[in-house]
């Protein structure tokens, strides 16, 4: 008989080769989860995360899959079913942004890429997780954490309001899905990072963005990926057993 405490903990973290996802993967490995490190194209970075988890005595696999595409999501979950067992936790972490610009310069292709990567991927991965976790499907429950952004509250004017709006969509999805699954053993929560030292800012054309904006952060500093990982792992844990539909700002006061 399996109970919440004896069941094997299996987590899928999307976009875990680098940045916040990588930090969450390493902490999850150290906390006893079998970890699926999903990535898009940087094989070496993902293998580095897997090696670090294994060297620390943990279990991990790297799985290349484009989670903005339905086939990619299905292949990712099928691989985890086969190689790690039934998923008990999902961290929707993939997020992309593009060159800083105003709305009047944005084209439809860009908007489609942003919403496919940042919104559709979270919906599709959550759908596959629900089918494996929800008691309605014979599952034993589970936890989903959605990585949003303080951009959802601030709007990112002049930089990327498309990205900000995609994160606003994720916050609404977190609240709705949490209520949908509240009686099916599945908790759904979000974290909203502020400005964190990762490579995502280079995609916006400003690798040093965190240091430029830190004077506007109440704590006067950027965040480290590990500080986000701590919040994500808390929401995944039994310590957060009565927390669902919550969105936690991890942003130095922004
Ligand atoms: P990052 O350093 O740019 O890393 C992105 C990761 O996502 C990489 O592992 C990348 O894979 C993967 N990826 C991108 N598109 C993918 C796709 N379609 N399918 C699968 N994997 C994909 O990002 P980060 O800064 O850690 O951001 C993580 C999350 O935090 C995102 O949701 C972001 O919006 C959010 N966030 C970040 C900040 C910040 O200041 N950093 C602030 C607020 C919110 P490859 O390595 O293979 O390219």
pLDDT higher than 50, residue 1: no
Q: Which residues are CB-neighbours of 13 under 8 A, at least 6 positions away?
A: 21, 24, 25, 28, 35, 36, 37, 38, 91, 93
CA distances from 91 to 103, 104, 155 (A): 30, 33, 23
Q: Is the CB of 68 under 6 A from ligand 1?
A: yes
Does the pLDDT at position 253 exceed 60? yes
The Cα 223–Cα 189 span in angstroms is 20
Instruction: Report which secondary-structure segment, H or E, holds 145.
Output: strand 142-147
CA angle 119, 122, 125 (to 5 degrees): 145
What is the CA(93)–ligand 1 centre distance, in A? 6
Helix 225-236 with 19-30: angle, nearest 10 deg: 50
Q: Mean pLDDT, to the nearest integer, of 159-176?
A: 98
Give the Cα separation of 168 and 58 in Å (integer). Answer: 35
Q: In the chain, what percentage of residues exceed pLDDT 90?
A: 97
For the cut 80, the answer to whether the pLDDT of residue 141 exceeds it is yes
Enter the DSSP assignment of 7.
S
Structure tokens at 99: 């060159």
- Separation CA 35–CA 4 (nearest Å): 17
- CATH 3.10.580.10 for domain 7-250, yes or no, is no
Whether 149 is in the pocket of ligand 1, judged by its Cβ within 6 Å, is: yes
pLDDT band at 147 (very low <50, low <70, confident <90, very high): very high
Q: What is the mean pLDDT of residues 2-10?
A: 73
Question: Are the C-beta atoms of residues 18 and 198 closer than 8 Å to each other?
Answer: yes
Give per-residue pLDDT as tens, 189-226. 999 999 999 999 999 999 999 999 999 999 999 999 99
CA 14 to chain centre: 6
* pLDDT, tens digit (0-9, with 9 covering 90-100), for 19-36: 999 999 999 999 999 999
210 neighbors 63 (Cβ within 8 angstroms): no
Ligand 1 pocket, residue 62 CB under 6 Å: no
Q: Which atom of ligand 1 is nearest to the CA of 42?
A: 47
Instruction: Check pLDDT > 80 for residue 4.
Output: no
């Amino acid at each position: 008989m399996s109970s919440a405490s004896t069941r094997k903990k299996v987590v899928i973290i999307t976009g875990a080769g680098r940045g916040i996802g990588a930090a969450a993967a390493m902490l999850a490995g150290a906390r006893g989860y079998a970890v699926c490190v999903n990535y898009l194209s940087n094989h070496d970075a993902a293998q580095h995360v897997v090696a670090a988890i294994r060297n620390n005595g943990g279990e991990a696999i790297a799985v290349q899959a484009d989670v903005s595409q339905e086939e990619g999501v299905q292949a990712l979950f099928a691989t985890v079913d086969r190689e790690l067992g039934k998923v008990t936790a999902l961290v929707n972490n993939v997020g992309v942004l593009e060159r800083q610009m105003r709305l009047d310069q944005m084209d439809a292709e860009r908007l489609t890429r942003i919403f496919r990567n940042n919104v559709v991927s979270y919906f599709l991965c959550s759908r596959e997780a629900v089918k494996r976790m929800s008691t309605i499907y014979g599952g034993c429950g589970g936890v989903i954490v959605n990585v949003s952004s303080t951009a959802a509250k601030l709007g990112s004017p002049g930089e990327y309001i498309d990205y900000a709006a995609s994160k606003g969509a994720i916050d609404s999805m977190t609240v709705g899905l949490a209520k949908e699954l509240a009686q099916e053993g599945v908790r759904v929560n979000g974290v909203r990072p502020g400005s964190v030292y990762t490579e995502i800012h280079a995609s916006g054309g400003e690798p040093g963005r965190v240091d430029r904006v830190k004077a506007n952060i109440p704590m006067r500093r950027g965040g480290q990926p590990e500080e986000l990982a701590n919040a994500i792992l808390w929401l995944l844990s039994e310590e957060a057993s009565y927390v669902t539909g919550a969105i936690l700002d991890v942003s130095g006061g922004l």
